[in-house]
Amino acid sequence: MRKTILILEDDVDLAEGIELSLQCEELNFIICSTIADARKAIPEQKIDLMIFDINLPDGNGLEFCREIKQKVSIPIALLTAKDMELDIVKGLESGADDYITKPFSLMILRARIRALLRRNPIKDEPEYNDSIFLFRFETMEFYKNGIPVELSRTEQRILYLLISNPNIIITRDRLLEWVWPEGTEYVEDNALSVAIRRLRDKLEDESSKPKYIKTVYGKGYMWENL
């Protein structure tokens, strides 16, 4: 079955370059130059992946990313010209599944996008429930002390692997391969650290003194059942 990628980019040459780089029999493409155009296209077709810039002519890409994630579960890769941790954090916090900094190699872009398309969503998994947390991965519902918590797809995948192996050290390499399958060589070095930090900010009482998502220095991370 062919998959559809929506490219939202006001730079026509860049949009066409991305399409050309990813072009194959298995993929269809929709190119939009504004958020307004993208809003019209999303309900009309089944979109499997979206790629768009943070800076758009009629709005902010981060806000649009957040808007989409509240309505539908579509993997999103953000393009940004700023290789800064703050921009990465904002992108992941907005629900983006990956981010790609400009200038980028089209070969690297192709590998990252194909990794996102191959990523299998978490389905039909039992929920996690204790006195503090309730995690329902199939319906993407997450609660702490009864209060809803919004997690990006990347954060969900990290959390799922950790809670599926309580009190067991999960190495950084294993987490990277789980979260970014078939594309770890193209993932920014600090992407996992940033995602872990954002997850702690949302789940821990004090993110600087984590009780649940523990760092095992030199080895990896562990979900500690209290």
Distances in Å between the Cα of 160 and the Cα atoms of 80, 83, 94, 130 are 28, 28, 19, 15
Share of the chain above pLDDT 70, in %: 87
Contacts of residue 9, Cβ cutoff 8 Å, sequence gap at least 6: 15, 18, 31, 32, 33, 51, 52, 53, 79
Average pLDDT, rounded, for the chain: 84
Q: How confident is the model at residue 159 (pLDDT cuts 50, 70, 90)?
A: very high
Domain 3-118, classified CATH 3.40.50.2300, yes or no: yes
Q: Does pLDDT of 104 surpass 80?
A: no
pLDDT of amino acid 132: 94
115-140 tens-digit pLDDT? 788 765 554 456 889 899 999 887 88
Higher-confidence residue: 78 or 30? Answer: 30
Cα–Cα distance, 156 to 74 (Å, whole number): 14
Predicted pLDDT of residue 94: 75
158 or 121, higher pLDDT: 158
Instruction: With beta carbons less than 8 A apart as the criterion, state whether 170 and 161 touch.
Output: yes
Report d(CA 75, CA 152) in Å as an integer: 10
Contact 1, 45 (CB under 8 A): no
The more confident residue out of 181 and 166 is 166
- Please report the pLDDT score of residue 182 as a whole number: 53
Q: CATH 3.40.50.2300 occupies which residues in the chain? A: 3-118
In the chain, list all ranges with CATH 1.10.10.10: 128-223
β-partners of residue 135 are 128, 142
Phi-psi region of 108 (alpha: psi -120 to 50; beta: other; left: phi over 0): alpha
Choose the CATH number for 128-223 among 1.10.10.10, 3.30.565.10, 3.40.50.300, 1.10.760.10. 1.10.10.10
Q: Is the pTM of this model over 0.85?
A: no
* pLDDT of the residue at 149: 94
180-226 pLDDT, tens digit each = 765 555 556 688 889 999 999 999 999 999 999 999 998 899 999 76
Q: Dump pLDDT digits (tens) for 39-78.
A: 988 888 888 899 998 889 998 888 898 888 877 778 888 8
Exposure of 144 by Cβ count < 10 A (0-12 exposed, 13-18 middle, 19+ buried)?
middle
